[in-house]
Amino acid sequence: MALNVVIAGGGFGGLYAARSLERHLPRHSARITLVTDRNFMLYTPLLPGAAAGSLEPRHVVVPLREELDWTDIRIATVTGADPAAKTVSMRMLDGGETELSYDQLVVALGSVSRVLPIPGLAEHGLGFKTLPDAVALRNRAILQLETAEEIDDPEARREYLTFVYVGAGYAGLEGIAELQDYVADLLDRYPRCRLDGTRWILVEATDRVMPEIPPALAEFATRELRSRGIEIHTNTRLEEVGERHATLSTGERVATRTVCWTAGVKPPKVVRELGLPLTEHGRISTDATLRVEGQECVWAIGDAAAVPDPAQRGGRPCPPTAQHALRQGRLVGENVAATLSGGRLRRFRYRTLGVFVDMGQHKAVATAVGVHLRGFPAWFAARTYHLAAMPGVARRLRLMVDWTVGLLFRRASAELGALGRPDSLATALDDPPGEPR
């Protein structure tokens, strides 16, 4: 009888785990099922490009069915698991609940924004974690310009032209740099806004930006962003957010209508419903072979897992990066196959080879295999890396076309927030139902 291997989550970890299992398991001896709540993997390193209009949103995703040959893909939401009964429960697209049995389970459920209980943040802040977040940010920026352009009072206009990002990791730094670059590109078409200019503020609670990269590169990134007029407030926290303002721990009350929260991630709630051991930060505890502590048949990878970091001699979990998740995906496929065939398990040994931080305007900072790059060479190296890392020739070509067009022409300024949410046909009726004749 075929063995059931179930993967929960189809992001970096899940997709690469499924590909590795397809390669290492004999096709007729196993059934691989990937349960995930959307039918594509989001290539997050390119999300800031999608938010800044330099990449078409469809070009930063990898449809799972195009990349997997014989994995059974089920688009459903995982709601829990019972390791004793070896089942995963899930809610399907039609709303029905069902259970799936497994012989081996790989958990790759990723992470969500770590939203802190700051007054007003959940109501007024924007996230930057998903494709809808990126598209919403781009549309918000355009709408703010359109609104500001028709307001007479310069004081009121400023609220619309001030953008605050909170958290200076990858997402925050690249996010603010690319969006500012985009808005600067559009500003010529908005004469009143151009007169006032825009204000950009990056707030970080610790004493420096980008703890993931060497201090010298982080300083370069800081200088570069400051030279473009982006204010960087380190050792500063967001205290409160309202519809028209944000208050910082320095006491400054910033008049703004856009606060983007990029201050870290945490595992999604469902991870607590899986009956697995968790660390104090809520990630699933695994050993160096990616097997969950105390479990024979359950493995965990990616942002949701606390895999001992080889770079820290196992003293701390691996950082939540795509580089780690995809390599853990590859290894877990090998280790599950080895378990089923009685082979030896391998340990996770990957140490970060390089980091790229894209800052728009054809500038980036990068450190790769000990070499530090900055400015245009880093930007070029980052593009080359992502082209090589993006699965599929057609997808690489689409990225190249987007980037080449971006080098030659300015970006589009159409606000397409209503895309995919058409008005009901009822709005076109001469006598809509329920309205008096």
Ligand X SMILES: Cc1cc2nc3c(=O)[nH]c(=O)nc-3n(C[C@H](O)[C@H](O)[C@H](O)COP(=O)(O)OP(=O)(O)OC[C@H]3O[C@@H](n4cnc5c(N)ncnc54)[C@H](O)[C@@H]3O)c2cc1C
CB of 9 to ligand X, least distance (A): 3
Site for ligand X in 347-376 (CB under 6 A): none
Q: Report the chain's terminal Cα–Cα distance, integer Å.
A: 67
Phi, psi of 246 (to 5 degrees): -135, 135
18, 34, 47, 307: which one contacts ligand X (CB under 6 A)? 47
- Minimum CB distance to ligand X, residue 23 (Å): 18
* Binding status of residue 270 toward ligand X by CB under 6 A: yes
> Hey, what are 273's tokens?
């419903």
Q: What's the CA dihedral at 388, 309, 214, 229 to 10 degrees?
A: 70
Judge residue 207's burial from the number of C-beta atoms within 10 Å of its C-beta, 0-12 exposed, 13-18 middle, 19 or more buried.
Answer: exposed
**Nearest alpha carbon to residue 330 among 284, 299, 294:** 299
How many residues touch ligand X under the rule CB under 6 A: the total is 32
Kindly state the smallest distance separating residue 47's Cβ from ligand X, in Å: 4
Asked whether position 14 contacts ligand X by CB under 6 A, the answer is yes
**Of 268, 310, 314, 391, which lies in the binding site for ligand X, with binding defined by CB under 6 A?**
268
CA distance 172 to 166: 7
Q: Which listed residue (19, 45, 168, 220) binds ligand X by CB under 6 A?
A: 45
Question: Which one of residues 74, 124, 129, 291 is an interface residue with ligand X (CB under 6 A)?
Answer: 129
Q: Is 137 left (phi over 0), alpha (psi -120 to 50) or beta?
A: alpha
Q: Of 322, 331, 337, 365, which one interacts with ligand X (CB under 6 A)?
A: 322
13 binds ligand X (CB under 6 A): yes
Per-residue x/- track, 271-310, ligand X (CB under 6 A): -------------------------------xxx------
Can residue 44 be called a binding residue for ligand X (CB under 6 A)? Answer: yes
C-alpha closest to that of 59 among 395, 360, 420: 395
Q: Does 64 bind ligand X (CB under 6 A)?
A: no
Map tokens 């280790």 to a residue: 335
Residue 39 CB neighbours (<10 A): 13
Judged by CB under 6 A, the residue of 7, 62, 107, 108 near ligand X is: 108
What is the rounded CA–CA span in Å between residue 204 and residue 317? 23
Q: Which residue of the chain is nearest ligand X when measured via CB?
A: 11
Task: Give me the DSSP letters along 94-124.
Answer: TS-EEEEE-SEEEE----EE-----TTHHHH
- Among 48, 52, 227, 253, smallest CA distance to 158 is for 253
3 state DSSP class of 366: strand
Residue with tokens 């006491």: 251
Nearer to ligand X, 247 or 321 (CB): 321
Which pair of structure tokens corresponds to residue 67? 């990349």
Query: Does 68 participate in binding ligand X (rule CB under 6 A)?
Result: no
Which tokens in the block code for residue 150?
A: 């028709």
Does 167 sit near ligand X (CB under 6 A)?
no
Q: Does 172 bind ligand X (CB under 6 A)?
A: no
Can residue 321 be called a binding residue for ligand X (CB under 6 A)?
yes
Q: How far is the CB of 154 from ligand X (least distance, A)?
A: 33
Give the pair of three-digit tokens for residue 239: 């205290």
* Amino acid present at 256: T
Q: Which is nearer to ligand X, 37 or 103 (CB)?
A: 37
Q: Residue 109, interface with ligand X (CB under 6 A)?
A: yes
* 5, 6, 10, 238: residue in contact with ligand X (rule CB under 6 A): 10
Stretch touching ligand X by CB under 6 A, among 233-241, 320-328, 332-340, 405-413: 320-328
Chain positions contacting ligand X, by CB under 6 A = 9-14, 35-38, 44-45, 47, 77-78, 108-110, 128-129, 170-171, 268, 270, 302-304, 320-323, 325
